[in-house]
C-alpha cells in the first residue's frame, strides 16, 4: 500500500500566458506612432516617431503571428540613439507582448522585470505585471524568483489566492518544506476563521511537507484535517496504513485496528476478515466475529477461491462459539459481580454491548474503569468509546474518544475513530 501522499510536482493553478497577455492588454492603443504620449502616460513623456512607428508595426505583426518580423521591428526601435527611459519602457512592453504570444519565456521574464522596475506603471498595472512575472518564472521552473515576486504581490496588494499558491508551490519545489508548511497553515487558519472548507490540494501539500520534515505530529494533524474535510477511502486507507506500519504500534491493538476497518467498510480482503473473526474468537467476542463473517459472505469476500473450505470451517466455529457464549450469559453476570479487576468487567461489558445489551454492558465497562486493576487503561477507555458508538450514542462516543491518551497506539486509534464518528467516510 502506498503510505505517502507526497506530491512530486504540484500542478500550478493558473494559465500564466493568459495572465501575461491580460496584463499587457491595451498596449496596442497606447504605443503611438507619432511623438505623443499614450493616454495613461505622464504628459511630459514624448515618444519619437522613429521609436513609435516600428513598435506599432511590431504589435500588428505579432497579432498576425509573424514573430520574427515583429522582433526585427523591435530591434529597429531599440537601435534608435538616445532612447529616453519612457521609450525604453515602451520597447520592453512590446517585447513582452511578442514574447508572451510566441512562448519566449526567457525574454518575457527579462522584459517584465524591466517594465516593473521602470517607474512608469500605475499601482494596479504594477501588481498585474508582477503577477505575470511570478507566473512566468514559475512556468520556467525558476522557483526562487517565482516565490519572491509572488511574495511582493502579496505584500503590495494583499491576499491573492493565485499568488499564495505560486509562493507555496515554488517553495515546496525548492524543498523549502518548513516555509511552505508555515504558509499553508496560515491559509488554513484563515479558512477556519472565515468558516470555509479548506482546499483539498492545500491539505495534501501540507501532509507532504510534514512528511518531508519528518514531523509525525504535523503529518497526523494534516491527515486528520483531510479525513475531516474529505473523508475518502483513499485517505482512510492511508491513515490506517500509517498506524499499522508504525513499528511502535502494539500487536494487542491489532483487533481494534481491524475493528475500525470493519466500521469503515474497508475490511475487503479475505485475509483481514479471517484474521478479525479469529481474533474476536480468541478475545471471547463471537458476536462480533459473526458480524464479520456475515459481512464477508454478503460482500463476496468469503465463498470464492481456494480458501472457501477454510472459510466454511471458520463460519461453523463462529456459530458454535456464539451459541455457547449466549448459553453462558448468566454465568457471565455472576463473573461480573465477582470480578476483582477492571479488565474483567471491561471485557464482560464489551461483550454485553456486542450482544445487544448496551445499557448493562456500558455500566459494567464504566465500573471496570473506576475499579482499576487494568493492564492498559487507555485501551479500556478506547473500548468504552467504541462501545458507546456501537450503542448508537455518537455524542458520548466522541467525548470518550477524545479522553483517550497515551503514546502507544490507543490515542492514535481514538483520534481516527473520532474523525469517523464526526465525519463518516465517503467516496
Q: Which tens digit of pLDDT belongs to each residue from 8-59? A: 444 443 334 444 554 554 443 344 333 333 334 444 478 999 999 999 999 9
- Predicted pLDDT of residue 427: 53
Residue 392 has pLDDT above 90, yes or no: yes
Compute the mean pLDDT over every residue in the chain, rounded to the nearest whole number: 88
- Predicted pLDDT of residue 332: 73
Residue 279 has pLDDT above 80, yes or no: yes
Residue 254 has pLDDT above 80, yes or no: yes
- Specify the higher pLDDT residue, 338 or 371: 371
- The predicted-structure confidence for 281-303, as pLDDT tens digits, reads as follows 999 999 999 999 999 999 999 98
**Stretch 98-116: mean pLDDT:** 92
Choose among 98, 90, 112: nearest CA to 31. 90
**Stretch 354-377: mean pLDDT:** 93
- Predicted pLDDT of residue 329: 76
Q: For residues 287 and 281, give the distance between their C-alpha atoms in angstroms, rounded to a whole number.
A: 9
- Predicted pLDDT of residue 20: 52
**Stretch 97-106: mean pLDDT:** 92
Longest dimension (CA), the chain: 107
Percent of the chain with pLDDT over 90: 79
Percent of the chain with pLDDT over 70: 89
- Specify the higher pLDDT residue, 406 or 176: 176
- Predicted pLDDT of residue 341: 80
Lowest mean pLDDT among 86-95, 164-173, 334-343, 371-380: 334-343
- Predicted pLDDT of residue 35: 31
CB 128 within 8 A of CB 105: no
- Predicted pLDDT of residue 71: 96
**Stretch 177-182: mean pLDDT:** 97
C-alpha cell at 119: 517607474
Residue 183 — pLDDT band, cuts 50, 70, 90? very high
Choose among 247, 327, 248: nearest CA to 286. 327
C-alpha cell at 200: 483539498
Residue 129 has pLDDT above 80, yes or no: yes
Residue 70 has pLDDT above 60, yes or no: yes
pTM over 0.85: no
Q: For residues 137 and 156, give the distance between their C-alpha atoms in angstroms, rounded to a whole number.
A: 19
**Stretch 251-256: mean pLDDT:** 96
- Predicted pLDDT of residue 5: 56
Q: For residues 180 and 165, give the distance between their C-alpha atoms in angstroms, rounded to a whole number.
A: 10
Amino acid at each position: 500500500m502506498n503510505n505517502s501522499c507526497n506530491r512530486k510536482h504540484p500542478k500550478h493553478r493558473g494559465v500564466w500566458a493568459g495572465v501575461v497577455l491580460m496584463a499587457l492588454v491595451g498596449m496596442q492603443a497606447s504605443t503611438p506612432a507619432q511623438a505623443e504620449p499614450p493616454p495613461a502616460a505622464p504628459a511630459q513623456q514624448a515618444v519619437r516617431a522613429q521609436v513609435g512607428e516600428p513598435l506599432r508595426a511590431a504589435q500588428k505583426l505579432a497579432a498576425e503571428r509573424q514573430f520574427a518580423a515583429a522582433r526585427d521591428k523591435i530591434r529597429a526601435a531599440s537601435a534608435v540613439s538616445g532612447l529616453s527611459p519612457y521609450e525604453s519602457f515602451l520597447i520592453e512592453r512590446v517585447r513582452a507582448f511578442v514574447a508572451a504570444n510566441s512562448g519566449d519565456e526567457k525574454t518575457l521574464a527579462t522584459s517584465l522585470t524591466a517594465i516593473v522596475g521602470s517607474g512608469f506603471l500605475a499601482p494596479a498595472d504594477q501588481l498585474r505585471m508582477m503577477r505575470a512575472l511570478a507566473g512566468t518564472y514559475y512556468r520556467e521552473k525558476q522557483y526562487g524568483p517565482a516565490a519572491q515576486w509572488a511574495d511582493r504581490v502579496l505584500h503590495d496588494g494583499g491576499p491573492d489566492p493565485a499568488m499564495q499558491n505560486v509562493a507555496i508551490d515554488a517553495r515546496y519545489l525548492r524543498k523549502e518544506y518548513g516555509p511552505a508548511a508555515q504558509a499553508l497553515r496560515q491559509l488554513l487558519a484563515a479558512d477556519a476563521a472565515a468558516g470555509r472548507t479548506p482546499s483539498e490540494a492545500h491539505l495534501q501539500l501540507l501532509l507532504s511537507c510534514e512528511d518531508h520534515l519528518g514531523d509525525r505530529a504535523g503529518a497526523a494533524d494534516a491527515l486528520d484535517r483531510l479525513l475531516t474535510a474529505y473523508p475518502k477511502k483513499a485517505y482512510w486507507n492511508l491513515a490506517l496504513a500509517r498506524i499499522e506500519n508504525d513499528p511502535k504500534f502494539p500487536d494487542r491493538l491489532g483487533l481494534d485496528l481491524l475493528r475500525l476497518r470493519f466500521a469503515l467498510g474497508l475490511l475487503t480482503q479475505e485475509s483481514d476478515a479471517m484474521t478479525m473473526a479469529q481474533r474476536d474468537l480468541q478475545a471471547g467476542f463471537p458476536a462480533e466475529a459473526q458480524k464479520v463473517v456475515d459481512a464477508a459472505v454478503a460482500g463476496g469476500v468469503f465463498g470464492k477461491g481456494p480458501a472457501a473450505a477454510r472459510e466454511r470451517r471458520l463460519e461453523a466455529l463462529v456459530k458454535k462459539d456464539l451459541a455457547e457464549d449466549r448459553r453462558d450469559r448468566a454465568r457471565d453476570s455472576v463473573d461480573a459481580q465477582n470480578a476483582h479487576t477492571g479488565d474483567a468487567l471491561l471485557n464482560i461489558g464489551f461483550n454485553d454491548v456486542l450482544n445487544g445489551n448496551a445499557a448493562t454492558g456500558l455500566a459494567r465497562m464504566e465500573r471496570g474503569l473506576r475499579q482499576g486493576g487494568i493492564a492498559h487503561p487507555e485501551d479500556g477507555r478506547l473500548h468504552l468509546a467504541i462501545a458507546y458508538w456501537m450503542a448508537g450514542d455518537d455524542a458520548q462516543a466522541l467525548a470518550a474518544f477524545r479522553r483517550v491518551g497515551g503514546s502507544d497506539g490507543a490515542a492514535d486509534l481514538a483520534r481516527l475513530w473520532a474523525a469517523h464518528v464526526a465525519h463518516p467516510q465517503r467516496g
